[in-house]
Amino acid sequence: MPLKKIELSNVTVFEQMTIPFGPGINVLIGENGLGKTHIMKLLYAACQASKRGVSFPHKTVLVFCPEQSNIRRLVNRDKDKCNTAKVRVYSDVASIGMTFTNRTKAWKADTVGEENWEKQMMDLSSVFIPAKEILSNAWNLESAAKMGNVEFDDTYLDIIAAAKVKIAPGKDADKQKKYLDLLRKINRGTVTESEEHFYLKPGNQARLEFNLVAEGMRKIALLWQLMKNGIITSGSVLFWDEPEANMNPKYIPVIVDMLLMLQREGIQVFVSTHDYFLGKYFDVRRKEEDEIVYHSLYRSSETGRVELEQKPYFKALANNVILDTFMALYREEIRKVMQ
């Protein structure tokens, strides 16, 4: 049940936009502030709304954390534009939408399609990996957040819960083993959890608390844990915000290989990135049958609006801020050598 498209009207930085998605890997690129993470959070909220008792507007508020939990803060701020915001997310079998204005209180948006969405998408599993690693801060975070002592959006709280809960029966099921073996070579160990603390246990050595492990390794360890727990399975949706953040560049191709393997198993993947190597490695490592779509968000020089370009290959994008920056550096280096 892959996500097919999202329609946005006057939501955050978007005026009017429809974004169709591929069933495999969807790579979102663009400068900061153009809504890459916003798109993924709205899609994630819609996926979570397939669960009984979870509403699309309320989950949206929880993952965005607007001031005083007011969804109206997500209305496009251009005062010359309509103050009514609309979002609609489509799968291949159903759709869910909401409408709110700059007068809507709390998360009391008008919704459509919730009942059918919940019925048709009830088996959907989704996970959102935030840009910043959070398991090292997992201890008592959920309780502190509920008490209002700290404020984290729900993507962080959800990923901690996902890392704790084991869904898959048995130890290292066959479908998971190939992923676990690949990730174990990088983090050189396994993840354990005790009394809300996470540890990395490298082989026969004593376990290390996550705070003593490099953040890039922690992110690999988190992915290992999600695989082991059976959270990421065929038919699920994986959102990963900036996988390259604090990651050793030599592990980028391994991450790409992993994501390509996942989409071949029927997992829909959404990735946002600013990294040339991550974007380019998908072109290099892909097979002919792999489903990859690049979504480049850019601001039109004529209208000032956020626009979209979509291509199946990284190098084919005309609006590619990552490649443009890389080429600018290359030209500057050439000029310096020629002086």
Which pairs count as long-range contacts for 49-55, CB under 8 Å and 24+ apart, including other chains? Answer: 49/96, 49/114, 49/117, 49/118, 50/117, 50/118, 50/121, 50/122, 50/124, 51/118, 51/122, 52/118, 52/122, 55/107, 55/111, 55/114
Residue 339 pLDDT: 79
Of the listed ranges 8-12, 235-239, 248-252, the least confidently predicted one is 248-252
Secondary structure of 73-90 as H, E, C letters: HHECCCCCCCCEEEEEEE
The percentage of residues in the chain with a pLDDT greater than 90, rounded to a whole number, is 52
How far apart, in whole angstroms, are the C-alpha atoms of residue 70 and residue 104? 8
Ramachandran sector of residue 314 (left: φ over 0; alpha: ψ -120 to 50; beta: rest): alpha
Average the pLDDT over 171-182 and give the result.
64
> Taking 70 as the threshold, does the pLDDT of residue 186 lie above it?
no
Dihedral sign for Cα 64, 222, 192, 165, please: positive
How far apart, in whole angstroms, are the C-alpha atoms of residue 207 and residue 192? 8
Average the pLDDT over 204-209 and give the result.
66
> Taking 80 as the threshold, does the pLDDT of residue 133 lie above it?
no
On average, the pLDDT of the chain sits at 85
For the ranges 82-96, 122-136, 154-168, 209-223, the maximum mean pLDDT occurs at: 82-96
Dihedral of CA atoms 183, 234, 175, 129 in degrees, nearest 10, equals: 20
Given a contact cutoff of 8 angstroms between Cβ atoms, the answer to whether 155 and 41 are in contact is yes
Of the listed ranges 69-83, 108-122, 153-167, 168-182, the least confidently predicted one is 168-182
CA angle 219, 269, 265 (to 5 degrees): 100
Residue 184 pLDDT: 67
Residue closest to 91 by CA, chosen among 38, 23, 18? 23
> Taking 70 as the threshold, does the pLDDT of residue 39 lie above it?
yes
CB under 8 Å to 322, separation ≥6 — which residues? 29, 273, 274, 275, 276, 279
Cβ burial 80-95 (10 Å sphere, 16+ → b, else e): eeebebbbbbbbeebb
Amino acid present at 128: F
Residue 35 pLDDT: 95
How far apart, in whole angstroms, are the C-alpha atoms of residue 251 and residue 77? 40
How far apart, in whole angstroms, are the C-alpha atoms of residue 11 and residue 41? 12
Residue 247 pLDDT: 85
Of the listed ranges 96-100, 268-272, 296-300, 320-324, the least confidently predicted one is 320-324
Beta-bridge partner residues of 311 = 294
Residue 147 pLDDT: 61
> Taking 80 as the threshold, does the pLDDT of residue 183 lie above it?
no
How far apart, in whole angstroms, are the C-alpha atoms of residue 78 and residue 193? 47
> Taking 80 as the threshold, does the pLDDT of residue 257 lie above it?
yes
Residue 115 pLDDT: 93
Given a contact cutoff of 8 angstroms between Cβ atoms, the answer to whether 197 and 209 are in contact is yes
Residue closest to 306 by CA, chosen among 25, 29, 22? 29
Beta-bridge partner residues of 28 = 272, 295
Residue 157 pLDDT: 87
Residue 196 pLDDT: 59
> Taking 70 as the threshold, does the pLDDT of residue 153 lie above it?
yes
Instruction: Give Dmax over CA atoms of the chain in angstroms.
Output: 67
How far apart, in whole angstroms, are the C-alpha atoms of residue 197 and residue 175? 27
> Taking 90 as the threshold, does the pLDDT of residue 45 lie above it?
yes
Judged on CB neighbours under 10 Å (0-12, 13-18, 19+), 198 is: buried
